[in-house]
């Protein structure tokens, strides 16, 4: 895994001072990879913005926001945790996320969905693992829980996995947010989005639209007005035997998971 990470990080080492459009052209990792189910649309693409632009989510702005996703442009969305930088699951869109955040390609992206059924179709689980996933999803979705699960290779594109797809047991991070604004837009879009926090890599995760604007001056980015909760999602890897390994603590604590009758422990490393 270390070798994979080093290779991916070297692959993405492009100058951080360049604008996103120039940095994207250097991300050869994405150029020859086929996208998952298409998010393309026959609607006219929205013209690029001259800088991060805050807009509400309403009947007037919804077509513009959906058009941006359908044309591989980015939007920033409030969630019940922090603001996220959302792109469609296309090679071009995902490359823009990595470039705008200056994020190493070895860092995977969490996929966000409007509902649990859609989210779990992107995973491939069985036996005790499936039972635990069902219990967690019923208890905490929609909500601030990210599940790390074996991926469904027919749906999850390799360029969101941070190199995991090159391993024998590739995984993907899945989440169903509960924030009404985020949930409404995802429902209207009808497809998942790749969405890390809306900040430059290693900066503080933003909880207000003004924070997002300050992170990405001059970038082509629509920022949906709203407010985040301020605490990152809890990340849990569900093991083959049904046990839960908490990789990152958050709003949902280990004791909350154990309270469902599940085995859970914190990652130590």
Hey, what are 221's tokens? Answer: 């980015």
Cα separation values, 236 from 3, 7, 249, Å: 24, 26, 9
pLDDT tens track of the chain, all 269 residues?
333 333 333 223 333 444 454 444 434 444 434 445 556 544 567 789 999 999 999 999 999 999 999 999 999 999 999 999 999 999 999 999 999 999 999 999 999 999 999 999 999 999 999 999 999 999 999 999 999 999 999 999 999 998 877 777 899 999 999 999 999 999 999 999 999 999 999 999 999 999 999 999 999 999 999 988 889 999 999 999 999 999 999 999 999 999 999 999 999 87
- Residues whose CB falls within 8 Å of the CB of residue 134, separated by 6 or more in sequence, listed in order: none
- Give the three-class secondary structure for 82: coil
- Per residue in 184-198, pLDDT tens? 999 999 999 999 999
Within the chain, residue ranges assigned H as helices are 2-11, 20-24, 62-70, 91-101, 116-120, 127-140, 180-189, 209-215, 254-258
| CA pair distance 236, 246, nearest whole angstrom | 4
* β 84-88/74-77 pair status: antiparallel
Instruction: Give the pLDDT score at 27.
Output: 44
Hey, what are 8's tokens? Answer: 């991916």
In the sheet that 53-55 helps form, which strands lie side by side, from edge to edge?
53-55, 221-224, 74-77, 84-88, 193-194, 110-112, 171-175, 145-150, 234-238, 244-248, 264-266
Instruction: Give the pLDDT score at 32.
Output: 38
Instruction: Give the pLDDT score at 14.
Output: 35
Instruction: Give the pLDDT score at 167.
Output: 76
- Residues whose CB falls within 8 Å of the CB of residue 198, separated by 6 or more in sequence, listed in order: 76, 77, 82, 83, 84, 85, 205, 206, 212, 215, 216, 223
Instruction: Give the pLDDT score at 38.
Output: 54
266 Rama class: left (phi>0) / alpha (psi -120 to 50) / beta: beta
């Amino acid at each position: 895994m270390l070798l994979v990470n080093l290779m991916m990080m070297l692959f993405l080492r492009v100058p951080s001072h360049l604008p996103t459009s120039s940095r994207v052209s250097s991300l050869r990792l994405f150029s020859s990879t086929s996208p998952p189910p298409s998010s393309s649309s026959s609607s006219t693409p929205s013209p690029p913005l001259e800088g991060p632009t805050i807009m509400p989510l309403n009947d007037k702005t919804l077509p513009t926001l959906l058009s941006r996703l359908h044309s591989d442009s980015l939007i920033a969305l409030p969630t019940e945790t922090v603001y996220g930088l959302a792109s469609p699951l296309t090679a071009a869109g995902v490359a823009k996320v990595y470039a705008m955040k200056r994020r190493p390609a070895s860092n995977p992206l969490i996929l966000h969905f409007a509902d649990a059924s859609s989210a779990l179709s992107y995973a491939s689980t069985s036996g005790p693992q499936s039972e635990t996933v069902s219990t967690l999803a019923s208890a905490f979705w929609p909500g601030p829980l990210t599940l790390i699960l074996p991926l469904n290779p027919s749906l999850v594109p390799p360029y969101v996995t941070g190199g995991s797809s090159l391993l024998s047991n590739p995984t993907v991070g899945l989440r169903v947010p509960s924030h009404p604004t985020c949930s409404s837009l995802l429902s209207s879009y009808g497809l998942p989005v790749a969405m890390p926090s809306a900040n430059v890599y290693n900066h503080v995760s933003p909880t207000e639209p003004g924070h997002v604007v300050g992170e990405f001056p001059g970038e082509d980015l629509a920022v949906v007005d709203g407010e985040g909760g301020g605490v990152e999602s809890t990340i849990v890897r569900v093991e083959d035997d049904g046990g839960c390994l908490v990789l990152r603590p958050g709003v949902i604590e280990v004791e909350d998971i154990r309270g469902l009758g599940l085995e859970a422990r914190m990652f130590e490393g």
